[in-house]
Amino acid sequence: MPRFALKIEYDGAPFVGWQRQRALTSVQGAIEAALVKLDPRDHTIAAAGRTDAGVHALGQVAHCDLAKDWDPFRLSEALNYHLKPLPVSIIACARVADDWHARFSATERRYLFRLVSRRAPLVLEAGKVWQIGHDLDTGALQAGADRLLGRHDFTTFRSSICQADSPLRTLDELRVETVPRRDGAQEINFHVRARSFLHNQVRSFVGTLERVGAGAWSPDDVTAALQARNRAACGPVCPPHGLYLAGVTYPDDPFD
């Protein structure tokens, strides 16, 4: 069966997350239902990463196997037609080798977290960013973030229900960026990059670093939390709606 890679964009708000769940609306379930319209049989697609409820994607990647050798552009158009009106879009599609795997062939995942400091309620970006009411010290944020770079036991920063075999991960980038805005509010973007992540790791990072930027924690407190290897030492876990799976890297990008 021909195998196709799909690059996917979605608004996570109406979904219970990526993973299919019985009688609930998931991103995986929505795409598999669209595939049934094109190839009437049960479909199971695999993704580069499973996003939680409320988490968005700019560049999620999945693969599917179909009976017909579709033209990739026509396949993406057909899927997008059958995905309406759900907020999911196939933004690229490519034919890949039969042994290519969206998850296991990936060498890096990239996440973006958007935080906005503004007193007035956000209307156009509601559900798309984490809004707080106080400004943050970006220098302190980056100093705290730097304490997390490298290979560590990240037990403190993973969910208690995380199913990963090991808490050891290598964090390649955790960069703090200030983004200019027309409303004059402070927007801070966190760019996070690693080969793989633990459950709730990015949200745990950002929630903890917010405390550093607010002056409640010091960068040394981040180091102490990391070294504690204890979930109780983590700062508050921030909400999911500011988090985006920004992209996935492969040795040979199928979408180039």
pLDDT tens sequence across 156-207? 999 999 999 999 999 999 999 999 999 999 999 999 999 999 999 999 999 9
Q: Which of 100, 80, 98, 99 is nearest to 90 (CA)?
A: 80
Q: What is the pLDDT of residue 156?
A: 98
Q: What domains are defined for the chain?
A: 3-105 (3.30.70.580), 108-247 (3.30.70.660)
- Please report, rounded to a whole number, the percentage of residues in the chain having pLDDT higher than 70: 100
Catalytic residues: 52
Average pLDDT over residues 120-125: 97
**Is the peptide bond preceding residue 40 cis, with omega within 30 degrees of 0?**
no
Torsion sign (Cα): 125, 127, 128, 129: positive
Average pLDDT over residues 19-24: 91
User: 62-111, pLDDT tens digit by residue?
Assistant: 999 999 999 999 999 999 999 999 999 999 999 999 999 999 999 999 99
Q: What is the pLDDT of residue 23?
A: 86
Predicted confidence band of residue 14 (pLDDT cuts 50, 70, 90): very high
Mean pLDDT of the chain: 97
Q: What is the pLDDT of residue 142?
A: 98
